[in-house]
Structure 1
């Protein structure tokens, strides 16, 4: 075993023993947890920083009812929150000493999979709300490699921890949806109105292995059969009534990988067909609806299940598929609206749009909090001006003032892109009304599955409108963020709004729930006595830290070193 100093035998930490704040730690405080020396295939790491996330609150609220923890008795087998973390190796087991040197620093990617099963760090694997802990093979040796991403001295511990939420933001603009019919999958073609023109299906027609056809005339059925792959299993049935669709789906084996709705114009039927789409499935609306088609969609499924809502006004089913019609990235030179822009993640979306090389020319930041919007203006108006972008701040709780701001800045037909960082259905519905016909709505906020919101999906077919959503990030996403930050193309430290020591983690989670700070809360486990405070309060208390952050209050390695010095702790 390789080690630098005498190893710790205990660590202050916040185990979670059940749902609710009363089950976090012991009597509202961190407890002394035992720390063992690493085994041959383990690392002992020092947690340098952990930033708090709304996902932590979801676990705290749900306890063993959280989807990742169902069936786990937290009373006897607690977990520990904290998945946005940076660590330093202080000891390495015999099998790892050559690969992981004492003193080497890492950002942690928490989306860990073991034998194909999600065992996420900070959920299933106990996370970073502690001073020291062991990491085993599940974090270090996996089919993906290691979930530890090396960082150099250009990163503060807080900036390194923030590469994980930044990766989640960046992932919102990468294709997570499947945009082609699944090869070897199951498809359902439901025909409500037969097309006047000859129905075609070029792209993707030979992918499904099993196809259910309902509502088609014998002639159209024959036409569809001729377009499918050789040996495809075809099941023909009468079209089920809208109220019977759920039972129909169950009787045919559960959700379909691809659902194709031809000439369907009844909103309730479209909603039922959408519900029939399996995880990572596609829904294809074929044919131009007459007027609006206001449909109740499950925002949670768009976000967590990566449901792709596609369409084409042409009667070639394949025209709806592929990335050319279904973008994920912001439109270069376009108009962007960020709803909830004053919050921690909303600020990241604004910053990304400003800093990206071919980003939107107009960014409209919307929030209900004047205080948060003031911080957004102070932090990002100078950056936007320096990058040649226009940042407009709008305090609003409904879409009308936002639409007026768009019109006043040259976008009377709406925004090219709208990002929603608030999980409330009325907010999502209002956001959708701000889109231009060919715009993209990104449901970033983690609405629960079953969160229904009504939006017009007619422009999906008529004008390539997009409704997208993502959850979490991958190792590749976070590596990309680390590389961009190291190259000076991204400043994660701009997101830090408050700091605290390990003893303030519970208070920090309360502050997060209340929205007390307009940005991310960084917890430094090694600074036991550091009170929870905003970066402005910290600057007023410690002039050396203020000088290092500068007037824009940007967290950086110099500010972090100054804080450690002020606290009398070696960094």
Structure 2
């Protein structure tokens, strides 16, 4: 074993907040953390010290459901406790003999918690007990995964809070990277639906031969001929009604849905609604037409977020023109107007900050929330960045305004609508309303997740007539965290701007409750190695810890210098 020189295991307590069931009362023992033994690593394990943990609102579902949470697989938490804290940064203290060539004592790592093993989600902070502990072991559960080692090495020059927040920032970053599949799937099942009579002649210049099976329903003769030339399995099922669609999906996909669906000259919102239900996970619905649908489509916004289904289209005659990343953007429009719905929360603030700091990002940024204090906090905290980057930052509270948000956006844009709308509120109705203010070629990002099956009435005509983009993401990869780290080190991003409150190990559960109650307008960071640091907002530091407060940035922004002063203060204490 190798040991970190600053670490002394003898008589070192190891405080932890174990979780024994649903509800806040089941976090810890009688409202307090427990002291357990510091574990000894095996040859294929690491002993790590937890330096910082960001508290995340996504834990609320876990707190409410306990062992019945989908990622805990009906685990009996009384017998096998869990532990929250997936936004964690760790320092290696001891390295097992088999890992000597990969790791060294003293190295610092950020956790990539979205872990899969053999296709099964085993996320850190969920299935794998998380970071609300002072010392724990890391082994095969995090190093032998479907995507390799789920640890990202961070330099000593990066602050603890910055490193801990690479995870939520990685989720934000991921929402502007292409998660959708945008071309016909190799070997997949493609279903093309025409109409009994079509006035235009269609092409399918590329991509049709990727499919393994091609099913044709009322397809024009020229498309049928192209399908037969591919040499793939071609099946005709003509004269179908929407009542027949489920049986077709069961026959050819065992009910899992079609990998790719092409719909020519759609006119009926009911037909599009029923067809869209049959898109497979990561599947595409390509609509090609020139006429507006007869109404909005009941769109499963949960599947857009969690299943990465793609709605694409065009109004020309080449079906292939709908595919590919060149036509289907996933990042914010250069010089445009971006609206962030529900921007007062910690994750919403991160989206806004990214937009402001983004090179060639939107010129005008509109933040919305139903709480004036949160809006004021967002605008004041981000004012220095806004001015430095030459952007315009506007705020809107729909609860206190005499006009609707859609009308406000339309007035600001002379009726054009917003180029980008990012929804950070898990509410289907809000998602539906947000789609109504999209400009031509606009993008609607569903960052907040709602359950699959949550329907919103959206005019999908805009997808093929105006190239509207509908995107959503869930989770992140270590690549996303790496991109955030690299941009931070390059000075393009300041992750710690979103920190609103700090606390030590004794108040971690209080921090969780404060996060659930939205007490602080930003992220709460817990420093597990500091036992007696009270839970406090950064605006309280001037009174309670003036030697730390003097190192805050403009607008009471958390900095590495403030963090050093904090550690020094409690080290001296």
TM-score using structure 1 length: 0.94
Q: Is residue 213–residue 221 contact of structure 1 (8 Å, CA) maintained in 2?
A: no
- Deviation of 1:399 after TM superposition, in Å, equals 11
The answer for the alignment partner of 1:251 in structure 2 is 251
Cα shift at 1:470? 0.5
Q: Matches of 1:11 and 1:343 in 2, distance apart?
A: 32
1:342 lines up with 2:352 in the alignment: no
Q: CA deviation at 1:464?
A: 0.6
| 1:436 paired residue number | 439
- Residue from 65, 80, 105 that aligns with 1:102: 105
Q: CA deviation at 1:407?
A: 4.5
- Corresponding residue to 2:60 among 46, 57, 61: 57
Query: 5 Å matches for 1:172-191?
Result: 172-191=175-194
**Are 1:452 and 2:445 matched, yes or no?**
no
Secondary structure (helix, strand or coil) at the match of 1:39 reads coil
Asked if the contact 1:7/1:37 (under 8 Å) is kept, the reply is no
Where does residue 535 of structure 1 map in the other structure?
Answer: 538
1:248-327 equivalences in 2 (<5 Å)? 248-252=248-252, 253-254=254-255, 255-290=257-292, 293-327=295-329
Which of 177, 201, 204 lines up with 2:204 in the alignment? 201
Q: 1:208 to 1:13 in 2, by over 3 A?
A: same
1:143–1:299 Cα change, 3 Å? closer
Deviation at residue 143 of structure 1 after TM alignment:
5.8
C-alpha separation between the residues in 1 aligned to 2:348 and 2:521? 10
Segments of 5+ residues of structure 2 without an aligned counterpart are none
Against the structure 1 CA distance between its residues 291 and 137, is the aligned structure 2 distance closer, same or farther, given a 3 Å change threshold? closer
C-alpha distance in 1 between matches for 2:243 and 2:426? 28
Moved more, 493-502 or 289-298: 289-298
| 2:242 aligned partner | 242
Corresponding residue number in structure 2 for 1:518:
521
* Paired position in structure 2 for 1:167: 170
Could you say which residue in structure 1 is the equivalent of 2:497?
A: 494
Q: Could you list the per-position Cα deviations for residues 362-386 of structure 1 after superposition, in whole angstroms to 9, with x for gaps in the alignment?
A: 1111111100011111111221111
Unaligned runs of 5+ in 1: none
Kept after mapping to 2: 8 A contact 1:505/1:523: yes
* Residue of structure 1 in register with 2:376 after alignment: 374
Please point out which of 365, 383, 386 is paired with 1:384.
386
Between the aligned partners of 1:318 and 1:125, the Cα distance in structure 2 is: 44
Aligned partners of 2:197 and 2:542: how far apart in 1? Answer: 68
The question of whether the paired residues in 2 share the 8 Å contact of 1:41 and 1:136 is answered with yes
2:14 aligned counterpart, secondary structure: strand
Displacement of 1:141 after TM fit? 4.7
Q: Give me the CA root mean square deviation.
A: 2.1
Q: 2:38 aligns with which of 28, 35, 39?
A: 35
Alpha-carbon offset, residue 329 of structure 1: 0.8
Aligned residue in 2 for 1:328: 330
Give me the whole-angstrom Cα distance separating, in 2, the residues matched to 1:247 and 1:457.
25
| 1:420-463 CA-partner distances (Å, limit 9, x unpaired) | 00011121111111110210000001112121111111010001
Task: Say if 2:133 is the partner of 1:130.
Answer: yes
Which residue of the other structure, out of 379, 391, 398, is the alignment partner of 1:396? 398
Deviation sequence 1:279-317 (CA, Å, 0-9, x none) = 111011121233564111111110011010111122322
Q: In the aligned structure 2, how far is the partner of 1:189 from the partner of 1:25? A: 56
What is the rounded CA distance, in whole Å, between the counterparts of 2:191 and 2:572 in structure 1?
Answer: 63
Change (3 A) 1:319 1:10: same
Question: Secondary structure of the equivalent of 1:333?
Answer: coil
Secondary structure in structure 2 of the residue aligned to 1:509 = helix
Distance 1:474 1:400 in 2: 40
State the 1:139 CA deviation: 2.3
Give the length in aligned residue pairs.
567
2:269·2:294 contact (CA, 8 Å) conserved in 1?
Answer: no
**Deviation, structure 1 residue 272:** 1.5
- Displacement after TM superposition at 1:242 (Å): 2.5
Q: Is the CA contact (8 Å cut-off) linking 1:210 and 1:232 kept in structure 2?
A: yes
Conserved? CA contact 2:83–2:125, under 8 Å: yes
Give, in whole Å, the separation in 1 of the partners of 2:402 and 2:468.
18
Partner of 1:44: 47
Q: Give the whole-Å Cα distance in 1 for the aligned partners of 2:70 and 2:414.
A: 42
**Is the 8 Å Cα contact of residues 19 and 82 (structure 2) preserved in structure 1?**
yes
Which stretch shifts more, 265-274 or 155-164?
265-274
Distance 1:343 1:399 in 2: 23
Secondary structure, aligned partner of 2:383: helix
Instruction: Give the TM-score normalised by structure 2.
Output: 0.94
Given that 2:119 and 2:146 are in contact with CA atoms closer than 8 Å, whether structure 1 keeps it comes out as no
Q: Deviations over 1:504-539 (max 9, x none)?
A: 222222222222111111111112222222111133
The 10-residue stretch of structure 1 (184-193 or 489-498) with the greater mean CA deviation from structure 2: 184-193
- The DSSP-based 3-state class of the residue aligned with 1:54 is coil
Closer, same or farther: CA 15–193 of 1 in aligned 2, 3 Å: farther
